[in-house]
Structure 1
Amino acid sequence: MVVQLQMVFQIILLLFSIDAIFVQAAASLAINGSCEASCGGVNIPYPFGIGDGCFVDDWLEVNCSDSWSPPKPFLRSFNLEVLSISLGGTVRVNYPTFYDCENDTRSSTTNIVEFGKSPFIFSQSENRFVAIGCDNLAKMVSVGGLASVIGGCMSICDTGGLMDASTCNGINCCETTIPPQLDAFSATIGKVNDNPQTYVAITMNKGCKSAFLAEEKWFKADYPFSNASDIMLEVPLVLEWGIFNTSFNSLPIANDGSGSTVNNASSNFICITTNRTSIFTCSCKQGFEGNPYLLGGCQDINECLNNPCLNNGFTCENTYGSYNCLVPDSKRAIIIAGISGCLGLLVLFVGGWWSYKVVKHRRMIKQKNKFFKRNGGLLLQQQLSSHEANVENIKLINSKELEKATDNFNENRILGHGGQGTVYKGMLAEGRIVAVKKSKVLDEGKQLEEFINEVVILSQLNHRNVVKLIGCCLETEVPMLVYEYVPNGTLSQYVNGQTQEFPLTWDMRLRIATEVAGALFYLHSAASTPIYHRDIKSTNILLDDKYRAKVADFGTSRSIAVDQTHLTTSLVHGTFGYLDPEYFQSSQFTEKSDVYSFGVVLAELLTSEKAISSTRTQEPRSLAVYFIQSVEQNNLFDIIDSRVLKEGKKEDIIAVANLAIRCLNLNGKKRPTMKEVAMELEAIQMSQQKDHNLQENYEEFEYARAEMYKPGDDLPPPTTSTSSDAQPLIASQST
């Protein structure tokens, strides 16, 4: 009886399986059997389609035009000719070009297709922006709102007028990459050099110029013209496509009728969202191939047709979605004998391995001693034991502790990269969270002495707004420094809008500026040996758990003698946008060079603009120049951050802005010292704090008066007081 019940149960399961197969076949036939599969030799796979009911939504409808012989397929929504469609998420189309020809009244300015609301974007990896022609300055411009340049390149002239598309190296032809997630663009064509005498002898300069977005493979392999004055009205390019989540449930695979849904573990396909979260793409799983958008569209691949096991002497057995390599019986005995012999050899290998580990351990100890000496360990120990060095609380940490602290310098622990090395987050054995800076390999000689000198200098610094050095490790190939960990990132992340969830208030900005100024004044004047930081910028200002400023990254800092006025360097060190123009010209770094860099940070705090920006709607790209010009043109409050305008007093903002202008003076002698800067900022902060206290006291007084009188009583008039501290601060621009 039990056997009969089992047979009945198996028959029922078989019937359900057959029914599911018929449902899948019927759904596939409904899409493929009644729809045109191609047009003019171009395959049109579902979810694209020709005719009603053959496509998943209107964006993927294809029109097969009989106006051509043979017919040509077009994306109906954009009237773009389709060259090929890949189920991998791309479609090749012919796209119009932009051109400029003398004596040609045709206009190419209307050649703009906007994909903004569609599931299409231009493929960043497959396409290149190309400009062709002599003396051609082509710019890629955004569409909609304020048009801004998002890319471009320029090509110079060659008298022969020839070009090589395979290189396109800037002679009669140039190319460049495009921004990600691009869904619309326009192009402008101009001249590289407006001097008419420059190209007098080059007659080909009167020919055509063009600019277009094209598929990189096509352009470099199949571009049909070799003359730079030739143009094409349309060129192939690649679009990336997907399916909107609103249309996703219309797919046959959304539910196959038997309760199996998309991404079920038993499915042979998978669907995921793209970088655009509302758009899906599907693909067959490994071991399957076909159309993942159709029921039963992904079919098992018979890997054994190519017998991947043949090279190993095994036989192949195909499985659903994979394959197995089986050992023939004739070889099984040989394998057993081989294993037995290997076991005997294993004993010998274990003994050899143990001996190797002992020798390796001894070599490692010798190597650590070698690295310790090469990285200046003996010199540092001498400095640590010297009373003149006055080094306090500096630790020599071994490499094993730092490896354990950083999980063997795991990439997930990286906090940032710099010119001097890489910084990792770690936790020491006592539980202290630290930042470990892994330096670059040092050359012996002067560079080594400078590194040791830097360690000694940093260990002497003791200021609440300077990142504290905890210790160092010298027994590795590259020396490592260990700093206190500062958790809340860099000032740049907050003033440049990268951290939207916690915007900086005006009080916080003013306090941070005052703290940084105090730290620089300490480095320049109050430290035992004057120190020039040489790389002050918002990314080198860290914020702790209470959002207090910590000046960091002393990799390029240098100490000088007390009576020394400047530091002369063979190479100019610094960051573009913060670099003192006077230092750039003379190679002489003074304390006023740090003042200039701090002036740029003040401008960042006031405007929330980047020091260098290619997306700024107005020239120049440099924030320092842009800030100075805005002040000179009485446009200061047009560029100030909206939150600063809302929360700050006008006279305080003007005072800080004028201080920034004085710091950015091109003549270093006319800039204030960091002591003067710190004192002025402290005065502004104290004045603002006093105004806050007066307002709070007045509100408490009004509340107390209201409690003393009943409703309906005549209240005496409120008294007001004025203070010279409450008057607007007036600052004059230093010239």
Structure 2
Amino acid sequence: MANNCCHCCSNCCFHFGFLTGVLGVKEESKEIRCCPGYDITTVEALQYDFATIEAATNKFSDSNKLGEGGFGEVYKGVLPNQQVIAVKRLSRGSGQGDEEFKNEAVLVAKLQHRNLVRLLGFCLEREEKILVYEYVPNKSLDYFVFDPTKQGQLDWSRRYKIIGGIARGLLYLHEDSRLRIIHRDLKASNILLDEDMNPKISDFGMARIFGVDQTQGTTRRVVGTYGYMSPEYAMQGQFSVKSDVYSFGVLVLEIISGQRNSNFYETEGAQDLISYAWKLWKDGRSQELLNPVLRDNYSRNEVIRCIQMGLLCVQEDPVDRPTMATIVLLLNSYSVTLPVPKQPAFVLQSRTDGRMPDKGLESDQSTSQSMPWSINEVSITELHPR
């Protein structure tokens, strides 16, 4: 805690850094000091006692378990006030101290947007590290998009709405929150759907938080999901807002096609979904990418624009990819002309040099490099977050 911090805001001085394992291993810290009028959730307001969490989840019973991942188990719970919650019980040995865990939970709890899953609080007792989230009832996007028996529940209008909601959530993380936040693990299973099928980005366990003057970083510890990783990140450990844009592009193509990029059945010589979408685009047959269950009722203009937008997002050079601000604009305005996409990354022979970074190394080197994007030679300046 900083010595020159006033007593009234002693709980509001926190570090921000690389969040792994859902607020797991801390790689870097920078001090941010609050001041009078700076609205921040306090540690006290976020703390739950273990007995409350244990009772809410029926002692973490298997019948309440929603899922299990590399960072812990997730349970459904009901608080005494009947509020339904999702409880993530983190695996032991995350390597992060209690104070760091609490301080970073405060930071993440301040991320409030209709297209982000909200962190309600945490529990630190009995050597347990527990995170409490809002409960989102309709499971994750992959549950609907990739299951042949459930694909029909998402018509085109819902899918288009989901694409737009994910874009707005990412725009908030990249530009409109207090800090620039790179999610680094955007994928269908990390998009939850609420009772109205609105998308909510979840699982910030891999997120990297930048200051307003940073746009790019480098790490030797590559985390995320293959199939969604941008080539510069997978091969060289370089990540930026454009890494998330790449993942968003993959996700858009998956939502349209109903097929996974990482588990694609070879079609017309294409080894993955991106290659197949690119081949159809070049041949003037983009509409063939559309999931057959949607072909009786869809907007041709919206589908073609989304495919083109997805291909723009997965271009090999990060500079060529649009920002999320531009993507939101493209989704909301048909008067904006989309540029012609260049060949995507990993199609045939990638031009990206380098090899996979060694895993297990955890040092990050942050850089400050701006990456403007231009449409038809007109430069679009990236906005700094407020």
TM-score (norm 2): 0.75
* 1:48-79 Cα shifts (integer Å, max 9, x gaps): xxxxxxxxxxxxxxxxxxxxxxxxxxxxxxxx
Larger relative contact order (Cα-Cα within 8 Å, sequence gap ≥ 6): 2
1:382 correspondence with 2:4? no
Q: 1:453 to 1:676 in 2, by over 3 A?
A: farther
Q: 1:499 to 1:484 in 2, by over 3 A?
A: farther
Following the alignment from structure 1 to structure 2, what is the Cα–Cα distance between the partners of residues 653 and 501? 16
Q: Is the 8 A contact 1:566 1:591 kept in 2?
A: yes
1:541 correspondence with 2:191? yes
- 1:453 is displaced (CA, Å) by 4.8
Aligned residue among 65, 76, 84 for 1:414: 65
- 1:566 is displaced (CA, Å) by 1.1
Greater gyration radius: 1
Following the alignment from structure 1 to structure 2, what is the Cα–Cα distance between the partners of residues 444 and 627? 42
Following the alignment from structure 1 to structure 2, what is the Cα–Cα distance between the partners of residues 384 and 479? 20
Counting only pairs closer than 5 Å after superposition, residues 166-181 of structure 1 correspond to structure 2 as none
Following the alignment from structure 2 to structure 1, what is the Cα–Cα distance between the partners of residues 39 and 106? 9
- 1:683 is displaced (CA, Å) by 2.1
Aligned residue among 641, 645, 648 for 2:298: 648
Could you say what the CA RMSD is over the residues aligned between the two structures, in angstroms?
A: 2.5
Aligned residue among 310, 319, 324 for 1:669: 319
Aligned residue among 511, 524, 543 for 2:161: 511
Following the alignment from structure 1 to structure 2, what is the Cα–Cα distance between the partners of residues 632 and 478? 53
**Count of residue pairs the alignment pairs up:** 312
1:624 correspondence with 2:274? yes
Following the alignment from structure 1 to structure 2, what is the Cα–Cα distance between the partners of residues 501 and 626? 20
Q: Is the 8 A contact 1:493 1:499 kept in 2?
A: no
Following the alignment from structure 2 to structure 1, what is the Cα–Cα distance between the partners of residues 183 and 330? 21
Q: 1:449 to 1:623 in 2, by over 3 A?
A: farther
1:397 correspondence with 2:48? yes
Q: 1:499 to 1:474 in 2, by over 3 A?
A: farther
Following the alignment from structure 2 to structure 1, what is the Cα–Cα distance between the partners of residues 187 and 146? 13
Q: Is the 8 A contact 1:424 1:437 kept in 2?
A: yes
Counting only pairs closer than 5 Å after superposition, residues 133-212 of structure 1 correspond to structure 2 as none
Determine the structure 1 residue equivalent to 2:173: 523
Determine the structure 2 residue equivalent to 1:582: 232
Following the alignment from structure 1 to structure 2, what is the Cα–Cα distance between the partners of residues 505 and 450? 43
- 1:452 is displaced (CA, Å) by 4.0
Following the alignment from structure 1 to structure 2, what is the Cα–Cα distance between the partners of residues 662 and 526? 23
Determine the structure 1 residue equivalent to 2:132: 482
Determine the structure 2 residue equivalent to 1:360: none
TM-score (norm 1): 0.40
- 1:647 is displaced (CA, Å) by 2.0
* 1:530-556 Cα shifts (integer Å, max 9, x gaps): 111111111111110111111111111
Following the alignment from structure 1 to structure 2, what is the Cα–Cα distance between the partners of residues 413 and 435? 10
Determine the structure 1 residue equivalent to 2:253: 603
Aligned residue among 178, 182, 185 for 1:532: 182
Determine the structure 1 residue equivalent to 2:328: 678
Following the alignment from structure 1 to structure 2, what is the Cα–Cα distance between the partners of residues 654 and 581? 25
* 1:415-439 Cα shifts (integer Å, max 9, x gaps): 1222322111111111100000111
SS at structure 1 position matched to 2:295: helix
Counting only pairs closer than 5 Å after superposition, residues 87-486 of structure 1 correspond to structure 2 as 382-383=11-12, 387-388=34-35, 390-392=39-41, 394-444=45-95, 451-486=101-136
* 1:278-333 Cα shifts (integer Å, max 9, x gaps): xxxxxxxxxxxxxxxxxxxxxxxxxxxxxxxxxxxxxxxxxxxxxxxxxxxxxxxx
Q: Is the 8 A contact 1:506 1:643 kept in 2?
A: no
Following the alignment from structure 1 to structure 2, what is the Cα–Cα distance between the partners of residues 501 and 620? 23
SS at structure 2 position matched to 1:509: helix
Q: 1:450 to 1:580 in 2, by over 3 A?
A: farther
Unaligned runs of 5+ in 1: 1-379, 685-724
- 1:632 is displaced (CA, Å) by 2.3
Following the alignment from structure 1 to structure 2, what is the Cα–Cα distance between the partners of residues 382 and 562? 23
Q: 1:499 to 1:679 in 2, by over 3 A?
A: farther
SS at structure 2 position matched to 1:474: strand
Following the alignment from structure 1 to structure 2, what is the Cα–Cα distance between the partners of residues 546 and 460? 24
Unaligned runs of 5+ in 2: 1-8, 15-32, 343-386
Q: 1:561 to 1:475 in 2, by over 3 A?
A: same
The one-letter amino acid paired with 1:383 is C
Q: 1:734 to 1:470 in 2, by over 3 A?
A: same
Following the alignment from structure 1 to structure 2, what is the Cα–Cα distance between the partners of residues 438 and 619? 44
* 1:588-646 Cα shifts (integer Å, max 9, x gaps): 11000000000011101111111221545555453223322332233322221124332
The percentage of counterpart residues that share the same residue type is: 34
1:734 correspondence with 2:341? yes
The one-letter amino acid paired with 1:500 is K
Following the alignment from structure 1 to structure 2, what is the Cα–Cα distance between the partners of residues 492 and 404? 30
Q: 1:501 to 1:458 in 2, by over 3 A?
A: same
Following the alignment from structure 2 to structure 1, what is the Cα–Cα distance between the partners of residues 112 and 39? 12
- 1:651 is displaced (CA, Å) by 2.3
Following the alignment from structure 1 to structure 2, what is the Cα–Cα distance between the partners of residues 398 and 450? 18
- 1:730 is displaced (CA, Å) by 6.2
The one-letter amino acid paired with 2:41 is E
